[in-house]
Amino acid sequence: MTTDQKTAFRQSLEALKGVETANSVYIGTPAPIERAVVDSSYTYSLTVIFDDLAGHDVYQTHPLHLAFLDSFKVYFEKIVIYDAA
């Protein structure tokens, strides 16, 4: 990814804060920590907090989320999702 592409990607992640059921949205990059148990193989992390499963379900089909996926799926080499309740 070029610097411009990373900037556009980050801006699109920021736009996901506009999903009304997303209570909190945290975007991060790997910390500069070198330990065997730390995975730093990603470019960005995204954590989204919902009140309930219904809020999660709204997010999955929300136009902002779908636009993000459509615009940037070509850059995804690997996606890891951890859903927790």
Query: What is the pTM assigned to this prediction?
Result: 0.87
Reported as a single tens digit per residue, the pLDDT across 6-25 is 999 999 999 999 999 999 99
Query: How buried is 23 (Cβ within 10 angstroms: 0-12 exposed, 13-18 middle, 19+ buried)?
Result: exposed
Q: According to the CATH classification, is domain 3-75 in 3.30.70.100?
A: yes
Reported as a single tens digit per residue, the pLDDT across 39-67 is 999 999 999 999 999 999 999 999 999 99
Contact 6, 42 (CB under 8 A): no
Query: In sequence order, what are the beta bridge partners of 26?
Result: 47
Residue-range domain boundaries for the chain: 3-75
Phi, psi of 69 (to 5 degrees): -60, -45
